[in-house]
């Protein structure tokens, strides 16, 4: 990203880089498809984690520039080139044609109407899809129009949402949702509709911070929805609040947290603990060409990136609420903490993403400064896999919970309230009441959510 710290090795690739075009009266010339394709190959050849699995990325694959150009010209678009250079095990690398939007997403800036939702197949007709509101962002169109967690909708602009059209429908800047009810089996339209409009919005991922009285003991609850570096100070302030309450346990709600900054994940883990400062949190494995230069060890920290001292709780256990939407940096926290403290996972299995990426630009050192003005393509390829201090990685299937419970779309509850089902299950365990409870397990399949079209969806990045 823009704070990419690995600089020295990049200059080794200078001989591979095609120079930028000469200016014509300071007006950038539009790059050709071949030039963009060449940038993609060079960047993947240099950084891709799974380079060894892709024969066309081998250093000796092409005997001449012309042979490489012939290969690149065999594709009709940059996206086709990028797809052809990905390993079959890679679900997460991607190419963008507008890196400005990508950078804004990293900073928490999106086009947003404030309605954060999930999309689920109908129980009696799996080709049809309904939406359920997960939460509503403050000071947004959705909040102003009274939308609340648990609201159900099954149409957009009068069209039934299906597994074939949902991406197109949710990508509109303005749309009207048709509200419905769900009794656990049947979706019933109620005749009401609400028009929503997206505007540029910056989301504070520190959504709820509170202390609960649980059997006479103070228990902290923190709902954290993205590892956004620009809000590290707000995250640290939330831990200051929890620390001042002398909490005995923490319930960390990552159920909708798709990931983000590795640095923030390490700092969050250091806020939960504090007693392991300077010890190994994780190590990084890059491709064979880069491991000696880039392979590094991440340590539990004592400061956030601003230099402010971390507010640490010194806990020896933590409860983490998860769903399939918990990914990347959320999973890094689970994996990094597991060798040190008791991590009790409540909810559903996580996504299964242990790799991190960087943004690669078309410049002489692949960084943002000096990026080719002839286009705005950039790549976000996987460049490393994260390994915890016990050597564990490659959790393709995610992390399964110790306490299995799914969200009940007919009874989602109020986030942060003790009777909200996932939080209640964690509190049951704290109180020793788990054996007396049976928890909801859903048979409905999630197909997506309101963040799935964002350029930083389920990313973990350096």
Class of domain 1-107+203-440+453-462: alpha beta
Q: Is the pLDDT of residue 21 over 60?
A: no
Alpha carbon distance 239, 271 (integer Å):
7
Q: Is the pLDDT of residue 343 over 70?
A: yes
Q: What does CATH list as the number for 109-202?
A: 2.30.42.10
Determine the average pLDDT of the residues in 164-181.
96
Cα atoms found within 13 Å of the Cα of residue 67, Cβ hemisphere only = 7
Q: What is the DSSP string of 187-225?
A: EEEEEEEEEEE-EEEE--SEEEEEEEEETTEEEEEEEE-
Q: What predicted TM-score, i.e. pTM, was given to this entire model? A: 0.90
Domain map (residue ranges) of the chain: 1-107+203-440+453-462, 109-202
Closest C-alpha to 173, from 148, 156, 158, 193: 156
Residue 3 is predicted with a pLDDT of 39
Angle between helices 262-272 and 232-244 (to 10 degrees): 10
Tell me the pLDDT tens digit for each residue of 36-49. Answer: 999 999 999 999 99
- Maximum CA pair distance of the chain? 76
Tell me the pLDDT tens digit for each residue of 278-330. Answer: 999 999 999 999 999 999 999 999 999 999 999 999 999 999 999 999 999 99
Task: Report H helices in 367-442.
Answer: 421-431
Determine the average pLDDT of the residues in 364-379.
95
Per the listing, tokens 């340590």 go with: 299
Weakest mean pLDDT among 12-21, 106-115, 358-367, 401-410 = 12-21
Give residue 4's pLDDT band: very low, low, confident or very high (50, 70, 90): very low
- Percentage of the residues of the chain whose pLDDT score is greater than 90: 87
Structure tokens at 218: 């103070």
3-state secondary structure of 357: strand
Q: What is the DSSP string of 131-184?
A: EEEEEE-TTSHHHHTT--TT-EEEEETTEEPBTTTHHHHHT-SEEEEEEEEE-S
Tell me the pLDDT tens digit for each residue of 387-396. Answer: 999 999 999 9
């Amino acid at each position: 990203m823009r704070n990419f710290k690995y600089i020295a090795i990049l200059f080794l690739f200078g001989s591979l880089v095609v120079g930028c075009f000469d200016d014509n009266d300071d007006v950038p010339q539009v790059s050709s498809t071949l030039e963009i394709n060449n940038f993609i190959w060079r960047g993947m050849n240099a950084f891709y984690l799974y380079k060894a699995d892709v024969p066309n990325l081998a250093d000796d694959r092409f005997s001449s520039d012309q042979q490489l150009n012939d290969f690149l010209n065999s594709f009709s678009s940059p996206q086709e080139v990028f797809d052809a250079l990905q390993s079959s095990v890679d679900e997460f690398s991607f190419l963008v044609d507008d890196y400005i939007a990508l950078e804004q997403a990293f900073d928490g800036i999106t086009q947003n109407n404030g309605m954060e939702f999930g999309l689920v197949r109908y129980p009696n007709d799996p080709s049809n899809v309904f939406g359920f509101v997960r939460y509503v962002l403050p000071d947004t169109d959705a909040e102003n129009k009274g939308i609340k967690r648990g609201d159900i909708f099954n149409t957009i602009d009068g069209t039934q949402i299906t597994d074939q059209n949902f991406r197109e429908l949710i990508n509109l800047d303005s749309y009207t949702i048709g509200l419905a009810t769900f009794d656990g089996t049947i979706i019933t339209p109620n005749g009401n509709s609400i028009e929503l409009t997206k505007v540029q919005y910056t989301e504070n991922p520190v959504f709820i911070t509170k202390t609960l009285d649980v059997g006479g003991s103070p228990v902290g609850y923190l709902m954290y929805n993205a590892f956004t570096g620009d809000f590290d100070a707000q995250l640290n302030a939330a831990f200051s609040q929890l620390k001042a309450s002398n909490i005995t346990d923490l319930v960390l709600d990552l159920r909708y947290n798709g990931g983000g900054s590795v640095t923030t994940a390490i700092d969050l883990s250091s806020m939960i603990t504090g007693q392991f400062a300077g010890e190994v949190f994780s190590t990084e494995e890059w491709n064979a060409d880069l491991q000696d230069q880039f392979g590094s060890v991440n340590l539990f920290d004592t400061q956030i990136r601003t230099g402010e001292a971390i507010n640490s709780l010194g806990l020896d256990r933590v409860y983490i609420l998860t769903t399939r939407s918990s990914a990347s940096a959320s999973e890094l926290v689970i994996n990094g903490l597991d060798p040190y403290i008791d991590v009790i996972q409540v909810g559903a299995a996580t996504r299964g993403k242990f790799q991190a990426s960087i943004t690669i630009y078309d410049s002489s050192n692949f960084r943002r400064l000096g990026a080719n003005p002839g286009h705005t393509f950039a790549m976000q390829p996987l460049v490393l896999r994260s390994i915890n201090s016990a050597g564990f990685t490659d959790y393709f299937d995610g992390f399964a919970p110790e306490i299995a419970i799914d969200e009940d779309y007919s009874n989602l509850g109020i986030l942060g309230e003790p009777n909200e089902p996932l939080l209640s299950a964690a509190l049951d365990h704290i109180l020793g009441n788990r054996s007396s409870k049976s928890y909801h397990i859903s048979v409905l399949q999630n197909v997506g959510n309101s963040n799935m079209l964002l350029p930083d969806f389920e990313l973990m990045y350096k």
